[in-house]
Amino acid sequence: RLSGQDAHRDHGEAAGVSRRSRNAHPLTDHAANERLARFERLVRGRFDAVVPTLKAIGTLAPTDDLAERAASMARAELGVALPAELFESAWITGLDMRRLYAVTMAETIHAVAAETHAFAGTESDTMTGFLLECGFHAVDISPCSDGRLKGVIRSILRLPDDAVRSRKAYAGAMFDVEANVRRWIETELLRFREGSPVPPSAGTRYLKIAVYHWSRSDPDYEGCAAHGSDQRAAAAAALSRLRELREAVENSFFCGASIDLLLIGVDTDTDAIRVHVPDALGDMDLDRYVDNLDLYRQTIDDDVTTARMRVHRAIEAASADHPGGPPHEGMRRLIATLLINNLSQIDYVRSTWGERYPDVGHAEAFISVGDGFEEFQVRNLAYFVFLQTVEEAATDLDVGIGLFQRRPERRGLPIPIAIHFRYDRRVPGSRERAIERCVRVRSAIRARYRDLCAAGLLACDMSIQERTFSSPIEVIEAP
Amino acid sequence: RLSGQDAHRDHGEAAGVSRRSRNAHPLTDHAANERLARFERLVRGRFDAVVPTLKAIGTLAPTDDLAERAASMARAELGVALPAELFESAWITGLDMRRLYAVTMAETIHAVAAETHAFAGTESDTMTGFLLECGFHAVDISPCSDGRLKGVIRSILRLPDDAVRSRKAYAGAMFDVEANVRRWIETELLRFREGSPVPPSAGTRYLKIAVYHWSRSDPDYEGCAAHGSDQRAAAAAALSRLRELREAVENSFFCGASIDLLLIGVDTDTDAIRVHVPDALGDMDLDRYVDNLDLYRQTIDDDVTTARMRVHRAIEAASADHPGGPPHEGMRRLIATLLINNLSQIDYVRSTWGERYPDVGHAEAFISVGDGFEEFQVRNLAYFVFLQTVEEAATDLDVGIGLFQRRPERRGLPIPIAIHFRYDRRVPGSRERAIERCVRVRSAIRARYRDLCAAGLLACDMSIQERTFSSPIEVIEAP
Ligand SMILES: [Zn+2]
Ligand SMILES: [Zn+2]
Ligand SMILES: [Zn+2]
Ligand SMILES: [Zn+2]
């Protein structure tokens, strides 16, 4: 296992944490972990550099060439271009650090989004094929909007982005049943009308996954804010929302229509998942699950074959004593794959940070509002509020603003809000309407948080993007 | 033609207008006109009685039995029960006429909605069958939200309510393309998955109709407010929105998916329609139409057979000189039916009111907000704003509020806003979410029109209703 240990050392060094001597898990995908580490360093590093660089710019003497010196410092350290007008009246009033911060954060968001397109999933065909083999023609995942779950698809579950039909996040994973039914209908029509990805005769299913979360080390304070940090309440709420969706689908289109469900929990300290294994009828139980951190510990000294076998046995054990019996084989294969994928992530977190993440609590850099950037799937990078209007999502937004205001290290800094909507170039007027929506949502945010805005403590940035995967970010400039 | 004239006389008398001696149109459906007259008298009469009755109540002496006397007057004249607490402190402060008006209007809305369920369409099976014969498995109509078009389905086009897939109104008929694509997708899935109403092999089409309007007698002031009373601009905007929808459908689901379009204009003085006849490719032209008031005049002295023949000839003439040729036969049959249906309405308006309606301009009794009441399809009864959030529909709502504020006879009266949403009992939580939406929209209205509310000049009423046709209105009481 020398090569594995080497890889860990390099990785630990580069991320700037102390080197740890330990064994890797036998099922860890080291190449994927290295790719992920590079991606996270690229993204996180850019945001982490903002405050130190601006502090350094703040110490520059207000000489005539201040704008040039600041701009070259920003270019070198942050890779962004700062407009000269930010420095024009610095000799009279001093630098407007709040504006400087807001502009820098917006520029960083745009720059990082553009640079990380290259990291977009490449294995999606293989995964889509595997999902079809498991009997699923579509997988739709709704995690909680908590920033610590921002990496749930790419890191925690290790799924390629475009193998997932939808990944809209909601506070407490309380996804919109009506919107989900509509998405299911669209998927059904593609199947019936176009035979895409497979015709109905293939007998495949639509899979809806909800992801709740808790904190192992500080369960009463660092769990899911939307459920008062009550792990069981969070799991129960997500489970009943899943059941509601299935009932809605079964009732709306009677002829045998149904969907498969899966409930997954994430320990945000370690990124270890807990998969609630469904029974043969597709129903789940709060107490019937496989805990992947236990599994990780039990298999750490195994060889590859034994470890794999134990994963499959754990799934069987979780449904063994249940009268309904185990779920269909495809579901068992999918769960095994998710657990094995997640073992790599547990290993990644342990090798990089040790027992748990240093940032157990909230440390988001900005609030992402609207349709969300697929480019920023990095833990604790953004608090995400999926919304079409502020009116409907006001509570979620209030929670996010509150989280930022309560962080002492952010005192005096404006809260960066990145408003982002996607459009469909096949639909006439869709791009114009996305722009209108950006401006409308910004007005509503400014109206709701009038005092924060007036004090310069809230800064909105607007952008749109075509719906096709990895299309460029288009920045919206409006007065 | 004695019977026809008799019917007209009765009708004119009952509606309280002067008797006119004239011939009826040979194609007029007198039974339908009488039914419609009864329905309109029932609805309109109830609302028209509110102000006179309240004025009379206002003149009652503030004796101990004021509450009883007022309540019995309200019961007798308006058919509603007024709560005694409205009169309790009348001996100290006088009657709170604004509150009394707001409560009476809300009660009247609930009572009339309940009573008019009986009038819901009974001929829908015949019409659905006819539409299928014409080659349409779904007909979706978007009129302007102007109150003068409130009767467009039931009166102007004489279509049974549930033969129409959707009839959501938007300011200027500027319907939501994305929402329409979703509705089209749902309809498609029913066709593909359930063979409902007919399987795809039947080769039928989805028909989208947009309805714009103008005022023949006062075109520059009483036309469509959303298009600056410019008839041609209103027609052009509706036509391009129709084309956008077709393009969106054609681009989203490639394998030959498309829809049929139809553009209809309404002269709100006479309810006469103008149908823009599509060519063989389904495209329309602003200048190629059949004007039904012309047709009415040309055929008034014909016998039934000749009149029918002239309607069909007018449709042929409208596409005769067009290189594309006439539309498919089903479309021609549908247009003929709509024109003939509308001849009854023209006759109804002329026999009741003469050359044109006495209320050429706005005379709405309340603003209907949300999903809209299917029960209130009476001209100029309600200004309708279809919305899910105030945030997205603020402009439409501002227009409506402005129209009420500018009417001198309403000075000092609160503007009644009836917030109404529908739910789907097949979807768990749908009813609770409809209630939440009522309360959320009311809060947003109160926030947007804070000053009006504070002055007691805006009164919100909330209700929900199951989506099934003619289900009961459920009033929402909330602080
Ligand atoms: Zn590693
Ligand atoms: Zn949460
Ligand atoms: Zn008549
Ligand atoms: Zn209009």
Q: Which residues of chain B from 309 to 368 reach within 8 Å of chain A, CB to CB? A: none
Three-state secondary structure of A228-257: CCCHHHHHHHHHHHHHHHHHHHHHHCCCCC
The burial of B323, by beta-carbon neighbours within 10 Å (0-12 exposed, 13-18 middle, 19 or more buried), is given as exposed
Structure-model confidence comparison of residues B123 and B258, the more confident one:
B258
Ligand positioned closest to the Cα atom of B10: 3
**Strand blocks (E) in B127-204:** 136-143
Q: How many angstroms is it from A23 CA to the middle of ligand 1? A: 10
Q: How many residues belong to chain B?
A: 479
In this predicted structure, the answer to whether residue B25 has a pLDDT above a threshold of 60 is yes
* C-alpha closest to that of B462 among B426, B417, B415: B417
Q: How far apart are the CA of A254 and the nearest CA of chain B, in angstroms? A: 9
Q: How many angstroms is it from A148 CA to the middle of ligand 2? A: 9
Q: How far apart are the CA of A389 and the nearest CA of chain B, in angstroms? A: 7
For position A233, what pLDDT does the model report?
97
Residue identified by tokens 């925690």 is A156
Residue identified by tokens 């003469």 is B354
Ligand positioned closest to the Cα atom of B231: 4
What tens digit of pLDDT does each residue of B193-243 get? Answer: 889 999 999 999 999 999 999 999 999 999 998 999 999 999 999 999 999
Q: What is the chain B residue with the closest CA to A252?
A: B426
For position B131, what pLDDT does the model report?
95
For position B319, what pLDDT does the model report?
83
From the list B182, B247, B430, the residue facing A428 with the nearest CB is B247
From the list A189, A247, A392, the residue facing B428 with the nearest CB is A247
* List of chain B residues whose C-beta atoms are within 8 Å of the C-beta of residue A251: 426-427
Q: Is B185 on the interface with A (CB under 8 A)?
A: yes
Q: How many angstroms is it from A448 CA to the middle of ligand 4? A: 31
For position A469, what pLDDT does the model report?
78
Inter-chain CB proximity A188 and B189 less than 8 Å? yes
Which one of A242, A421, A426, A439 makes the best mutation probe of the B interface by having the most chain B beta carbons within 10 Å? A426
Share of chain B above pLDDT 70, in %: 94
Q: Is A130 on the interface with B (CB under 8 A)?
A: no
Q: Give me the torsion for CA of B322, B328, B329, B330, rounded to 10°.
A: -130
For position A122, what pLDDT does the model report?
57
Assigned token pair, B335: 């247009």
Q: Which of A83-92, A258-267, B17-26, B386-395 has the lowest mean pLDDT?
A: B17-26
Q: Are A415 and A452 in contact (CB under 8 A)?
A: yes
Inter-chain CB proximity B182 and A181 less than 8 Å? no
For position A118, what pLDDT does the model report?
60
Inter-chain CB proximity A189 and B185 less than 8 Å? yes
Q: How many residues belong to chain A?
A: 479
Inter-chain CB proximity B430 and A177 less than 8 Å? yes
Residue identified by tokens 């309404």 is B266
- How many other CB atoms are there within 10 angstroms of residue A384's CB atom? 31
Inter-chain CB proximity B251 and A427 less than 8 Å? yes
The pLDDT mean for chain B works out to 90
For position A478, what pLDDT does the model report?
80
**Strand blocks (E) in A363-476:** 366-370, 382-386, 415-423, 458-466, 473-475
Inter-chain CB proximity B177 and A426 less than 8 Å? no
Inter-chain CB proximity B248 and A428 less than 8 Å? yes
Q: Are B208 and B262 in contact (CB under 8 A)?
A: yes
Inter-chain CB proximity B392 and A253 less than 8 Å? no
Ligand positioned closest to the Cα atom of A234: 2
Catalytic residue among B140, B146, B161, B347: B146
A303 is catalytic: no
Tell how strand A205-214 and strand A136-143 pair up: parallel
From the list A186, A255, A388, the residue facing B193 with the nearest CB is A255
For position B320, what pLDDT does the model report?
81
**Sequence-separated contacts (24+) of B357-363 with Cβ below 8 Å:** B357/B268, B357/B269, B357/B270, B357/B271, B360/B215, B360/B217, B360/B218, B360/B222, B360/B268, B360/B269, B361/B218, B361/B221, B361/B222, B362/B146, B362/B147, B362/B148, B362/B403, B362/B407, B363/B147, B363/B407
Q: What is the chain B residue with the closest CA to A244?
A: B428
DSSP string, B266-293: EETTTTEEEEE---TTS---TT-EEEHH
From the list B189, B390, B426, the residue facing A251 with the nearest CB is B426
> What's phi and psi for A178, nearest 5 deg?
-60, -45
Q: What is the chain B residue with the closest CA to A255?
A: B194
Q: Is B432 on the interface with A (CB under 8 A)?
A: no
**Sequence-separated contacts (24+) of A114-118 with Cβ below 8 Å:** A114/A472, A114/A473, A115/A42, A116/A39, A116/A42, A116/A43, A116/A375, A116/A376, A117/A375, A117/A470, A117/A472
- Identify the DSSP state of B49: T
Full pLDDT tens readout for chain A, 479 residues? 333 333 333 333 344 343 344 679 999 999 999 999 999 998 999 999 999 999 999 998 878 888 889 999 999 999 999 988 888 888 888 889 999 999 999 999 999 988 887 665 556 678 889 999 999 999 999 999 899 999 999 999 999 887 888 888 898 999 999 999 999 999 999 999 889 999 999 999 999 999 999 999 999 999 999 999 999 999 999 999 999 999 999 987 667 789 999 999 999 999 999 999 999 999 999 999 999 999 999 999 999 999 999 999 999 999 887 777 899 999 999 999 999 999 999 999 999 999 999 988 888 999 999 998 888 889 999 999 899 999 999 988 998 999 999 999 999 999 999 999 999 999 999 999 999 999 999 999 999 999 999 999 999 999 999 998 788 999 998 87
Q: How far apart are the CA of B465 and the nearest CA of chain A, in angstroms? A: 17
CA distance A65 to A213: 50
Q: Is B427 on the interface with A (CB under 8 A)?
A: yes
List the beta bridge partners of residue A229: none
Q: Is B395 on the interface with A (CB under 8 A)?
A: no
Q: Is A181 on the interface with B (CB under 8 A)?
A: yes
Inter-chain CB proximity A253 and B188 less than 8 Å? no
With H, G, I as helix, E, B as strand and everything else as coil, classify residue B199: coil
Helices (H), B354-424: 390-405
Q: Are B465 and B420 in contact (CB under 8 A)?
A: yes
Q: Are A17 and A352 in contact (CB under 8 A)?
A: yes
Inter-chain CB proximity B392 and A440 less than 8 Å? yes
For position B61, what pLDDT does the model report?
85
For position B334, what pLDDT does the model report?
98
Containing A470, the helix (H) or strand (E) segment is: none
Inter-chain CB proximity A390 and B390 less than 8 Å? no
The burial of A312, by beta-carbon neighbours within 10 Å (0-12 exposed, 13-18 middle, 19 or more buried), is given as middle
CA distance B209 to B265: 10
What tens digit of pLDDT does each residue of B240-251 get? Answer: 999 999 999 998
For position A210, what pLDDT does the model report?
98
Catalytic residue among A146, A267, A269, A371: A146
Ligand positioned closest to the Cα atom of A6: 1
- Classify the C-alpha dihedral A423-A427-A431-A432 as positive or negative: negative
- Classify the C-alpha dihedral B336-B337-B338-B340 as positive or negative: positive
CA distance B180 to B168: 10
* List of chain B residues whose C-beta atoms are within 8 Å of the C-beta of residue A243: 428
For position B288, what pLDDT does the model report?
94
Inter-chain CB proximity B390 and A392 less than 8 Å? no
Split at pLDDT 50, 70, 90, the class of B252 is confident
Q: How far apart are the CA of A207 and the nearest CA of chain B, in angstroms? A: 18
Mean pLDDT value across residues B313-317:
95
CA distance B378 to B359: 13
From the list A193, A248, A254, the residue facing B428 with the nearest CB is A248
Assigned token pair, B75: 């019961």
For position B231, what pLDDT does the model report?
97
Mean pLDDT value across residues B337-348:
97
Which one of B181, B254, B427 makes the best mutation probe of the A interface by having the most chain A beta carbons within 10 Å? B427
Inter-chain CB proximity B193 and A253 less than 8 Å? yes
Reduced DSSP (H G I as helix, E B as strand, rest coil) percent helix, strand, coil of chain B, to 5? 50, 15, 35
From the list B244, B252, B440, the residue facing A429 with the nearest CB is B244
